[in-house]
Structure 1
């Protein structure tokens, strides 16, 4: 019944137009001298009958369509109308199907993001239990080991920063500002922020970057990427006295910045998967602290900033992580904050 009512409401203007048109034609005949009222009434009624016959045939052909659109859909798939006969309804059906596919794509993206966020939070909470438990045990000892407590606090801080970074990825474009930055100064700032990590693990930074090299990037986000490189390089370098090399090469087209460590390296079977979320690989299982999100976040940030990020590694030799920046020509030079050699000299002072 609802389908019939909808059909009638749609075609009431057509019926009124037909009646007016027939009346106008009869009026023309009357003004022209034609006075046979029976013939006029017969023609008018015949026109109305033909109009209703046309509408009845049209409703029969489109009955399935009208029945479908007045029903209450139980599932999203019910929105896909499969019974269309006219060009207008076929076009409407195609539009609905394209809209449905677009909707499904957005829903899948939201679902994947939500699942990834939930998985990440669950994994992070599980990992935070370890430093909290260790800190609690250390505090119960008669002689409190401040150094060990600081190490556990550093782990929790890095974990919190990872969660905040992951949460801000959804609003990346709103928080992005591209500017020209001296690369050496930027790298030295990251090294300074992680000097305790270097000292604790007995790893030394070596910077070989010309002070004239300037890159166009977002300082806050690229520092997050560099910090992840530093953390990975130090974390997977198990031998004391090893070094992490920071270098850059500039050409006419790009600036290639590399972080090379002397750690355990990454198996070739894992190279193509390390940028996927939650992939820890063989090395992640060795430490038990990997969330599998660090390089995923780094790759996401680089992609959104327009930088190319690639990894080269050899097991037992080390890993090199490289970012290619587009060249930003600028003659201005800015002095670095603190040379990496000073970080090396601070090892013994901060070790105590």
Structure 2
């Protein structure tokens, strides 16, 4: 702080050196005239010519300095005026370049930094808008599939009535599957829209994460039974988080685990493992699915990235893991992944006790 104050004082004095020099010259000249006038008074000479001469010379020096200072700063003022006239343009601040004083240089530097910050924010906003628009288009495309399937099922039902009990059960099951796909798609679109105003939809409290996991498992019970996936909760832990946003994250991790495990025959396990230390709680979601190819791992959290597995499944939007990581980041948690192709995948959420509520 002392260094900043000292630098500020130096800049202030440096900018006013020409004024100080002009003032000193006038003072010295005036003192010299007074000495001369005093010597003349001793000789009995008394007139006002010396005073008038001092006033005229002082005004002359002031006028000369004003002209010189105007010539020095004329281009700067012209550029500032042009920048004000072009204030509606993004690059208006770049017009001001011909600075003379340190004060002007600091002002221009501040404008440049503010412009850089503004342009970065604008680029981030545009990127978020592009991601959102692309996601909406992709979501509409994906929603066509369940709507088309439901329409086809309804047409078949009308043509083949009456149904046997088994056919009715199959029909209802298929309709439920497509309805669930639509519900999950709507949920993801809703959370994608909400994440931009994350801080307005946040309620941090201490929760039992193992109880939340049970609720998520119950929500996916039907799919787990159908695809022979056995959930297992290993341990208990309490963390500080937002229950609604954390439910969204866990839903994405469980949905992915089911999606990429159902193609494997036989019984599979889906393990939720909790480990607690003095500084953090780690929740690992471990599946026995097909795994992720090593070359896809660095990009699994990128928006719209589906990878080889997602393209093969034809059900992936590439937004689930991206949104899950964004939510974890804003909550102050960390979401990591490790996987071996053919041996399953492990997603780990780290709840650090000193990094909650990072609302950036």
The question of a shared fold, defined as TM-score above 0.5 by the shorter chain, is answered with yes
Q: Could you tell me which residue of structure 2 aligns to residue 84 of structure 1?
A: 99
Q: What TM-score, normalized by structure 2, do the two folds share?
A: 0.77
d(CA) in 1 for partners of 2:139 and 2:268? 29
SS of the equivalent of 2:296 reads helix
Find the aligned partners of 2:74 and 2:353 in 1 and give their Cα distance: 64
Aligned to 1:233, which of 257, 269, 288?
257
SS at 1:172 equivalent: helix
Number of equivalenced pairs? 301
Q: Does 1:46 align with 2:60?
A: no
Q: Which runs of 5+ in 2 are unaligned?
A: 1-18, 162-167, 355-360
- Counterpart in 1 of 2:143? 128
Q: Tell me the C-alpha RMSD between the 2 structures.
A: 2.6
Q: 1:256 Cα deviation (Å)?
A: 2.0
* Structure 1 runs, 4 residues or longer, greater than 6 Å off: 32-35
Distance (whole Å) between structure 1 residues aligned to residue 312 and residue 290 of structure 2: 11
Kept in 1: contact 2:264–2:290 (CA 8 A): no
- Taking structure 1 as the reference length, what is the TM-score of the superposition? 0.78
1:345 aligned residue: none
Q: 1:247 to 1:60 in 2, by over 3 A?
A: same
Q: CA deviation at 1:284?
A: 1.0
Q: Which residue of 2 aligns with 1:208?
A: 233
Give 1:37 deviation, angstroms: 4.4
Please tell me whether the aligned partners of residues 299 and 305 of structure 2 are also in contact (alpha carbons under 8 angstroms).
Answer: yes
Q: 1:76-225 to 2 correspondence within 5 Å? A: 76-80=90-94, 81-141=96-156, 142=158, 143=161, 145-200=171-226, 202-211=227-236, 213-225=237-249
Q: Of the two structures, which has the highest relative contact order with CA contacts closer than 8 Å and spacing of 6 or more?
A: 1
Name the SS of the counterpart of 1:310 in structure 2: strand
* CA deviation profile, 1:43-75 (whole Å, cap 9, x unmatched): 323322321221111111111111101112274
**In structure 1, what is the Cα distance between the partners aligned to 2:339 and 2:326?**
20
Distance 2:309 2:46 in 1: 102
- Structure 1 unaligned blocks of 5 or more: 1-13, 329-352
- Report the alpha carbon displacement of residue 187 of structure 1 after superposing the two structures with TM: 0.5
Helix, strand or coil for the counterpart of 1:269?
Answer: coil
Distance 1:97 1:163 in 2: 37
CA contact (8 A) 1:132 1:152 kept: yes
